[in-house]
Amino acid sequence: MFCIIVGCGRVGSELAFGLFEKGHQVTIIDHVGASFQHLPPAYRGRTIEAEVLNQDVLQRAGIEQADALAAVTNSDATNAVVAHMARAIFKVPNVVARNYDPRFLPLHEAMGLPMVSSTAWGAQRIEEILHADPCRSVFTAGNGEVEVYELAVTATWNGRSVRDLLGPTESVAVALTRAGKASLPLPEALLQAGDVLHVSARPAGIDELRRRLSGAKEN
């Protein structure tokens, strides 16, 4: 895969080196030459010091042959514009933009861009840890709209069904692991203490499931 990385900060340099180590062809662009110092000495991909909003620079980087582009600068406007150009003008098949400031999420959403918001995602994960959340997120799809949560079944729910646990919540059981063996759980499957249940849900669904768990503990 030939990938162009826009922005050589900590995220861009880590991404570029990771792709390079896996054998991919990588070109990374930044308008500040000193930014390339973030790259490990073992990096042997291409670097370009130039203003990325210039289409000539993108063409010099080989965007017309690129399989993927990641815009990961600390400017949400730059990321949105470059990602939009890559997809709409140069028809790059796989494009992703970094969201740096959550207040600019609507900008990326309005353009329909695949994006990663490490700030919003990280804050959510830290909040879950601080609250000792019984539903631990293990996978995030999109930008957090749907997540897969891991739930350790306690004695409170022993002998009760998956349907009992999930109830009317906006969540779906995707896997049940018992004694190290996973299965696809039916709604009527009975739970045992020590089971690990993986549940796919949107934020509203998992919030309701947390309330049910808390209520069950009180009963």
pLDDT digits 0-9 by tens, 103-113:
887 877 778 88
Query: For the chain, what's the residue count?
Result: 219
Q: What is the pLDDT of residue 49?
A: 97
CA–CA separation, 219 vs 208, rounded Å?
A: 17
DSSP letters, 14-34, are HHHHHHHHTT-EEEEEES-GG
Q: What is the pLDDT of residue 137?
A: 79
Nearest to 11 by CA among 157, 87, 112, 122: 122
Give the strands of the sheet with 181-183, arranged side by side: 135-141, 146-152, 196-201, 171-178, 181-183
CA–CA separation, 130 vs 98, rounded Å?
A: 26
CA–CA separation, 39 vs 19, rounded Å?
A: 12
Within a domain: 121: no
Q: State which residues form the domain around 180.
A: 127-218
- Looking at the structure, do residues 57 and 147 belong to the same domain, yes or no? no
Q: Are 99 and 105 in contact (CB under 8 A)?
A: yes
- CATH number at 175 reads 3.30.70.1450
Within a domain: 122: no
Q: What is the pLDDT of residue 143?
A: 66
- Looking at the structure, do residues 205 and 134 belong to the same domain, yes or no? yes
pLDDT above 90 (res 140): no
pLDDT above 80 (res 132): no
pLDDT above 60 (res 100): yes
- Looking at the structure, do residues 45 and 112 belong to the same domain, yes or no? yes
Q: What is the pTM of this model?
A: 0.64
Per the structure, the count of domains in the chain is 2
- Looking at the structure, do residues 140 and 167 belong to the same domain, yes or no? yes
